[in-house]
């Protein structure tokens, strides 16, 4: 059955078959229209077949020459003139066939050109217009299909890229977290079990929920809160970490883990390098139409000189994700001086 | 008699005339009295004063009756003349015939008047008339070699083609000798 379906699909898609079906249908309709008495006579088949000669000539001149070379190249006026010439020429050909040619081809048979020139012009005009519209609509549908396919490919490509970028977040976060636990274990801190539990919650969120394109802002904020809490436990109590939220996050959707790389950077390159007097200030303001993310941290001393490559990795990643998921519906500003590093990200609400 | 035979046997009736109002032509040379070459029938052709047509009165001389008086030996036709592709044609249509007027009303409604056509050539003294050969037409229909609107009722072919179609057909095949029976010659009577 599937084999026949495939065969039928291939046949239906064949241009030759489509044209044969069109002309076959045309033959049957005109045969019925041309029959002169109550029954279709054999001579009506001959007449209908010869009537199609000028129709076919006119239609293919229009389809193969006039439309592709003039109409589709926007030479409308020239197309209109040539269309009229084509119409007149094939109509006269029809008259010539039935007035002279058919007597030579079929001596002993009696045919005339049964229709007036006006009627013949109308016949040919209808065929030229219908076949032209069929061609244009077929090409339009083809173009639409290509565009849809292209959009689908783009979407799949973007999705694949997004997944790849997200998958890069996890190991990044994992390494940092393991470093945190390692630090706590060295101190034999009482908070270690609590930290492991919090990390477990965070990984659950990252693995099972952050795979979506968009997620509730409340969940994302809860995740960030846990992350900062862990950083507070890990770092010197003298370090100034603030995390403030203004506005109502309920019902707002946001790209998951979009803020995390900035926070990771701030802890890695700010506080980590300079715990004494270090600070991280994170403010998230939920406005009427936008979500404003402001992050400021001190620029600490680098633990490992030449680490710039690693530090830029997360930011490039998040910038690409922002492009893919927000397009031009976001603004990202990064400023830094000798003392401070600031990130300002505004996302249009989704 | 010979012409009358042709007139009856050689008739291919048509529902539509061979002319349109603007095609009709005057050829007053055909007016007058004419006798068939075998002296079996007499014809009087008179111009219609109001229309570009002629009253064609036929009398069968083999029947008893007075010349050009109303009896069953006489028949009136309205004849219109038309030129097509260089040839002249007569279109015959029944005129005011007492025989028809006196028919039973029920019978009258069952009769549909029809046109018949003939090619002709006229000089001062003769009219030569070529009637279409119905056998030729029938053969063409039987062999499916002709395409013109028609219906076959019992054994009678009735042309149903429009005037335009008829004119095109007659014009195109006006010179085909196979289309006509032997011509009839009418001689002017002075």
pLDDT digits (tens, 9 = 90+) for B72-86: 678 899 999 999 988
The half-sphere exposure of B113 on its side-chain side, counting CA atoms within 13 A, is 13
Q: Does the beta-carbon distance from B144 to A42 stay under 8 Å?
A: yes
Question: Chain B residues contacting A, CB < 8 Å?
Answer: 140, 144-152, 161, 164-165, 168-169, 172-173
Yes or no: say if B126 and B177 are a contact pair by the CB < 8 Å rule.
Answer: no
A181 and A273 inside one domain: yes
Which of A47-61, A268-282, B146-160 has the least mean pLDDT?
A: A268-282
A196 and A261 inside one domain: yes
> Could you tell me if residue A142 is inside a domain?
no
Query: Considering only CB atoms, which chain B residues are within 8 Å of A31?
Result: none
- Does residue A346 sit in helix, strand or coil? strand
Is A312 a residue whose pLDDT tops 60?
A: no
Q: Looking only at Cα atoms, what is the longest distance across chain A? A: 116
Closest residue in A to B161 (Cα) is: A36
Domain that holds residue A178: 159-348
A183 and A101 inside one domain: no
A178 and A108 inside one domain: no
pLDDT in the model for residue A309: 45
A97 and A186 inside one domain: no
A211 and A341 inside one domain: yes
In chain B, at which residue ranges do the beta strands (DSSP E only) sit?
A: 32-36, 41-47, 54-60, 74-84, 87-94, 116-122, 126-131, 150-153, 156-159, 184-189
Q: Report the domain count for chain A.
A: 2
A102 and A170 inside one domain: no
> Could you tell me if residue A305 is inside a domain?
yes
Can you tell me the mean pLDDT for A101-120?
88
* Mean pLDDT computed over every residue of chain B: 85
Query: Angle between the A192-204 and A217-234 helix axes, to the nearest 10 degrees?
Result: 150
DSSP state of B117: E
Closest residue in B to A35 (Cα) is: B149
Going by pLDDT thresholds of 50, 70 and 90, the confidence category of residue B167 is very high
> Could you tell me if residue A182 is inside a domain?
yes
Q: How far apart are CA B101 and CA A161, in angstroms?
A: 99
Closest residue in B to A41 (Cα) is: B144
| Sheet of A279-286, strands arranged across | A240-246, A279-286, A290-298, A340-348, A330-336
Query: A130 vs chain B: nearest CA distance in angstroms?
Result: 28
Specify the residue for token string 């042309």: B159
> Could you tell me if residue A344 is inside a domain?
yes
> Which residues contact residue A289 at a Cβ distance below 8 angstroms, ignoring those fewer than 6 apart?
A348, A349
Query: B92 vs chain A: nearest CA distance in angstroms?
Result: 24
> Could you tell me if residue A151 is inside a domain?
no
Which one, of A206, A162, A138, lies nearest residue A317 by Cα?
A162
| Any B CB within 8 A of A43 CB | yes
pLDDT in the model for residue A77: 95
Of the residues A59, A92, A114, the one at which a domain ends: A114
Is B5 a residue whose pLDDT tops 50?
A: no
Going by pLDDT thresholds of 50, 70 and 90, the confidence category of residue A188 is confident
A308 and A166 inside one domain: yes
- CATH number of the domain enclosing A223: 3.30.565.10
A170 and A82 inside one domain: no
A227-231, A257-261, B18-22: range with highest mean pLDDT: B18-22
Which of A140-144, A148-152, A176-180, A305-309 has the least mean pLDDT?
A: A305-309
pLDDT digits (tens, 9 = 90+) for A295-304: 998 887 654 4
Is A306 a residue whose pLDDT tops 60?
A: no
| Any B CB within 8 A of A118 CB | no
pLDDT in the model for residue A272: 58
Instruction: Select the more confidently predicted residue: A263 or A82.
Output: A82
A7-16, A299-308, B5-14: range with highest mean pLDDT: A7-16
pLDDT in the model for residue B66: 53
pLDDT digits (tens, 9 = 90+) for B91-130: 999 988 877 777 888 888 888 899 999 999 999 899 999 9
Query: Considering only CB atoms, which chain B residues are within 8 Å of A43?
Result: 144-147
Which one, of A201, A218, A202, A207, lies nearest residue A254 by Cα?
A218
pLDDT in the model for residue A26: 95
> Could you tell me if residue A307 is inside a domain?
yes
Going by pLDDT thresholds of 50, 70 and 90, the confidence category of residue A310 is very low
- A240-246/A279-286 β-pairing: parallel
pLDDT in the model for residue A166: 65
A208 and A317 inside one domain: yes
Bridge-partner residues for B58, per DSSP? B43, B75
B109-114 CB contacts, 8 Å cutoff, 24+ apart: B112/B15, B114/B13, B114/B14, B114/B15, B114/B158
Can you tell me the mean pLDDT for B36-54?
91
ipTM of the complex: 0.71
């Amino acid at each position: 059955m599937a084999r026949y379906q495939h065969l039928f699909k291939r046949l239906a898609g064949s241009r030759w078959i489509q044209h044969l079906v069109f002309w076959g249908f045309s033959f049957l309709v005109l045969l019925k229209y041309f029959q002169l008495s109550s029954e279709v006579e054999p001579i009506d088949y001959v007449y209908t077949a010869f009537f199609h000669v000028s129709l076919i000539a006119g239609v293919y001149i229009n389809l193969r020459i006039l439309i592709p070379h003039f109409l589709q190249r926007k030479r409308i006026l020239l197309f209109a003139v040539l269309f009229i010439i084509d119409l007149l020429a094939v109509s006269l050909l029809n008259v010539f066939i039935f007035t002279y040619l058919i007597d030579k081809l079929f001596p002993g048979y009696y045919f005339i050109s049964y229709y007036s020139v006006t009627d013949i012009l109308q016949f040919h005009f209808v065929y030229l217009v219908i076949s032209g519209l069929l061609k244009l609509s077929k090409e339009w549908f083809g173009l639409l299909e290509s565009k849809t396919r292209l959009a689908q490919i783009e979407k799949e490509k973007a999705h694949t890229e997004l997944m790849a970028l997200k998958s890069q977040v996890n190991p990044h976060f994992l390494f940092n977290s393991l470093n945190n636990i390692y630090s706590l274990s060295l101190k034999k801190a009482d908070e270690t079990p609590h930290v492991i539990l919090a990390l477990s919650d965070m990984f659950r969120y990252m693995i099972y929920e952050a795979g979506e394109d968009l997620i509730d802002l409340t969940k994302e904020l809860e995740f960030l809160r846990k992350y900062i809490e862990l950083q507070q436990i890990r770092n010197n109590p003298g370090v100034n970490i603030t995390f403030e939220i203004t506005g109502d996050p309920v019902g707002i959707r946001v790209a998951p883990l979009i803020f995390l790389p900035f926070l990771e950077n701030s802890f890695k390159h700010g506080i980590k390098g300079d715990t004494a007097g270090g600070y991280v200030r994170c403010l998230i303001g939920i406005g009427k139409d936008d979500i404003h993310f402001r992050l400021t941290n001190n620029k600490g001393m680098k633990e490992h000189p030449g680490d710039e490559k690693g530090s830029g990795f997360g930011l490039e990643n998040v910038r690409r994700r922002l492009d893919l998921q927000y397009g031009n519906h976001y603004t990202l500003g990064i400023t830094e001086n000798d003392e401070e590093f600031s990130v300002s990200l505004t996302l249009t609400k989704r | 008699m010979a012409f009358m035979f042709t007139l009856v046997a050689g008739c291919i009736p048509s529902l539509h005339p061979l002319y349109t109002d603007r095609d009709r032509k005057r050829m007053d040379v055909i007016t007058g009295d004419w006798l068939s070459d075998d002296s079996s029938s007499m014809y009087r052709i008179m111009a219609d004063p109001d229309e570009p047509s002629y009253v064609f009165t036929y009398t069968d001389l083999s029947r008893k009756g007075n010349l050009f008086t109303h009896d069953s030996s006489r028949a009136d036709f309205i004849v219109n003349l038309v030129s097509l592709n260089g040839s002249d044609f007569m279109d015959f249509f029944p005129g005011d015939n007492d025989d028809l007027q006196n028919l039973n009303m029920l019978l009258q409604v069952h009769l549909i008047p029809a046109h018949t056509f003939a090619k002709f050539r006229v000089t001062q003294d003769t009219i030569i008339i070529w009637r279409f050969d119905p056998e030729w037409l029938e053969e063409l229909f039987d062999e499916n070699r002709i395409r013109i609107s028609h219906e076959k009722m019992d054994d009678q072919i009735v042309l149903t083609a429009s005037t335009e179609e008829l004119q095109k057909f007659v014009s195109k095949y006006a010179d085909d000798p196979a289309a006509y029976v032997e011509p009839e010659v009418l001689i002017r009577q002075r």
